[in-house]
Structure formats: structure tokens, C-alpha cells
Amino acid sequence: MNLPTAFMEVCEQHGHTLTEHCLHVRVAAQTLTHYHGDQSNTLTASTAVNGTGQQAGSFQTPLGLHRVCEKIGDNEPVGTVFKGRQPIRRDGKGDPTAMITDRILWLEGLEPGFNSGYEVDSRQRYIYIHGIGDESRLGQPNSQGCIHLGTANLIPLFDAIPEGTLVLITEN
């Protein structure tokens, strides 16, 4: 796998074995890169308007090593809107009020005291990779802490990766 050195180093530092698929979110570039074998695919993303940070209630994107702990929305139609991880309607495509759409990849922090536990726990902060009704602001900070992807990229990514996939979120 042709991963950045920083990804391999943080996995080694925290005792995690690389997974078959790995995701790297670069906040400065507003991208998510999917690594699988010798292949990589970089997708346009959006992270938090408030920048990066670990604290609960900050509405910032957390940094560090995570894993996909739960996949939500398999086989739901395009445009499905979620609230509390439950589908509530199916007309979210293009709707600026549709905050979470299509699929959810729920993230769990793997660095105790940094993005796991107490007031910095990414899972308890409900940090997801998910779709958004209005995709016009992809590529610029636009979330309340989550990572947004366009539907055309999110659904194939969701279908390709298993739960447990490692996700590294870095500034650069």
C-alpha cells in the first residue's frame, strides 16, 4: 500500500495494524484519499467551518487516528436524510437543510486522551463521514465537525470499505 509515512508511523505508535483499506483526510486540502493495495483515489471533501480540534461541543473536526466503527444507510436510496442515524425522509438531494444524507461512516478515535475518552471522544461527538444535501460547498470548510463527501463518491466508498477501516485525519 502506498500510504503516506505519517499514516504508517501513527499506526505503529499506537499499536494498530494497517487495514486493507485506509482513508486519509487532509483538512488543509479538503480531501479524503482512499488507499487500497497499490491504488489510491483522492476525493473532494469538506471539514469543519471552525477548523480542527478535539473538544466536545467545539464543532471542529478531530485530528488523529480513527476507525470506521459503524456503517449506516446500506441500500437506502440516494437522497435519504438521516436524523439520529435513522432515515427520516428521501428527498434530501439538493436540499440545503438536509444535513446528513445518503450514508454514514461513524468514526471512533483510537488515541486515548486525544480523540478517545472523556471530553475528546470522536464517537461520542458523533463524528461521521457522510453525505450532504447541498454539495455546492464541497472543497471548502462547511461542516460542524464531520467530513462531508458528495453522493457520487460516498456511496462507492461506503460499499468498498468494511467496518474497522482506519482513518487518519491530519491538518496537511
Confidence at residue 155, expressed as pLDDT on a 0 to 100 scale: 98
Q: Are 170 and 52 in contact (CB under 8 A)?
A: no
Nearest Cα to 33, choosing from 157, 163, 164, 171?
157
User: How many CB atoms lie under 10 A from the CB of residue 55?
Assistant: 12
pTM beyond 0.95, yes or no:
yes
Q: Walk along the chain (172 residues) and give the pLDDT tens digit of each residue.
A: 899 999 999 999 999 999 999 999 999 999 999 999 999 999 999 999 999 999 999 999 999 999 999 999 999 999 999 999 999 999 999 999 999 999 999 999 999 999 999 999 999 999 999 999 999 999 999 999 999 999 999 999 999 999 999 999 999 9
* 137 strand-pairing partners: none
Confidence at residue 122, expressed as pLDDT on a 0 to 100 scale: 99
State how far the alpha carbon of 4 is from the alpha carbons of 11, 14, 35, 37, 127, in Å.
11, 16, 10, 13, 23
Domains and CATH numbers, the chain: 5-170 (2.40.440.10)
Locate 32 and state its grid cell. Answer: 479524503
In sequence order, the 6+-apart residues with CB closer than 8 A to the CB of 137 are 46
SS3 9: helix
CA 92 – CA 136 distance, rounded (Å): 14
Nearest Cα to 171, choosing from 85, 38, 61, 78?
61
